[in-house]
Amino acid sequence: MHKTNTNKLIVGSLIAEPGARVEGRLSVGNMPDGTPIRVPVVLINGKQSGKTLYLQAISDGNELNGIAVIHEILGQIDPAELSGGLIAVPVVNVHAFHAKQAYSPVDNVKMNRCFPGRSDGTSSERIAYQLFEKAVRNADYCIDLHQGGVQPMIDEVRVRVGERHRCYSACLALARVFGVGYILDQKGPKGQLAQAAPDIGIPTIDPELGGTHGWDTVSINKGVRGVLNVLKHYQFIDGTPELPDQQIVVNKFVPILSNKGGFVYYKAKLYDRIEARQPIAEIRDVFGNVSEVVRSPEEGIFWSHPVYPMVASGGIIGKIGTPISYL
């Protein structure tokens, strides 16, 4: 029997009563002409009591798949059938979003290096601070949706705290429940939400949903299924998560370098299990002649490669996720 929710869900001036959905904006600063900088926020407060999930996208302004995931989730969640609360922020880095780039054009800072933020910091740090203090702190779980920019990459989930962290097991469990099948278990750079929120006891994951210009429907669908898996597993909504029988975990990326400059013709595909010394690509000169066969430096999973099929000497033509373990 679900317990009736008697708690309001509050983010800044936005208040959602039990059983209600509220859309609005959180003021985080001003533009040079005084125009308010406002971050869009959606609150869904379930009719039944429960935990709160924080869900955000577009921390990097050119990573659009996450906003499509949020739109689909918001379209599916009925407050009458929800236990607990959902806080969704479709566009975090408003400056970078309008510029269609990863870094904010206002302070040249990557938002996902700014959490938990500073009230007296740069523009990005101030946005991160407002969101962290007024939204993230209200959550029991966090999902920070990303993608590999426009660079082709497999769909994966990242756990960004080390194994000695007090929230490590909970973060790894959350990544498993998201269920996309591939996990990077590696402590990330300082300032990531997936580090800052666990530091205050909130399990957080950083799904990386492919890499593309515009939308990638396959990656978006995986992201939607992942968020629904989390909502089902942690009893926000009814249902059984759709999880793979086995998930691959890696701990680092190893770059694949080309000795010759030229045009890249791949012999391996993303998601391929690669053996050490396996041919990954041919490098052809401007006349079409093969000048080099590039081989993998290690065994692992072919994880990502650049968007453009050309390379200078010493350039990276891809990355291998390694060593492989299973969850």
CA-to-CA dists, residue 263 to 110, 114, 165, 289, 313, angstroms: 31, 37, 43, 10, 11
Report how far residue 296's alpha carbon sits from residue 318's, in angstroms, rounded to the nearest whole number: 9
Query: Are 83 and 201 found together in one domain?
Result: yes
Query: Are 103 and 216 found together in one domain?
Result: yes
CA-to-CA dists, residue 229 to 106, 150, 213, angstroms: 37, 26, 26
Q: In sequence order, what are the beta bridge partners of 274?
A: 300
Mean pLDDT within 118-132:
96
DSSP 277-308: T-EEEEEE-TTS-EEEEEE-SSSEEEEE--SS
Query: Residue 3 — pLDDT band, cuts 50, 70, 90?
Result: confident
Q: Report residue 292 as tokens.
A: 């080099």
Q: Say yes or no to pLDDT of 263 above 80.
A: yes
Query: Residue 50 — pLDDT band, cuts 50, 70, 90?
Result: very high
Tens digits of per-residue pLDDT, 151-170?
Answer: 999 999 999 999 999 999 99
Report how far residue 100's alpha carbon sits from residue 160's, in angstroms, rounded to the nearest whole number: 25
Query: Are 221 and 179 found together in one domain?
Result: yes
SS3 content of the chain, % helix, strand, coil (to 5): 25, 35, 45
Mean pLDDT of the chain: 96
Can you give the pTM of this predicted structure?
0.95
Query: Are 175 and 277 found together in one domain?
Result: no
- The confidence score (pLDDT) of residue 31 equals 87
Instruction: Give the structural domain span for 116.
Output: 9-233
52 three-state secondary structure: strand
Query: Are 58 and 90 found together in one domain?
Result: yes
Point out the domain boundary residue: 233, 263, 290: 233
Query: Are 208 and 295 found together in one domain?
Result: no
Query: Are 137 and 257 found together in one domain?
Result: no
| 241 found inside a domain | no
Report how far residue 200's alpha carbon sits from residue 32's, in angstroms, rounded to the nearest whole number: 34
CA-to-CA dists, residue 93 to 45, 84, 90, 111, 277, angstroms: 24, 26, 10, 7, 41
- Helices 65-76 and 217-233, packing angle to 10 deg: 50
Domain CATH number, residue 311: 2.40.50.100
Query: Residue 1 — pLDDT band, cuts 50, 70, 90?
Result: low
What is the share, in percent, of the chain residues with pLDDT greater than 70?
Answer: 99
- Long-range own/partner contacts, residues 104-109 (CB < 8 A, 24 or more apart): 104/61
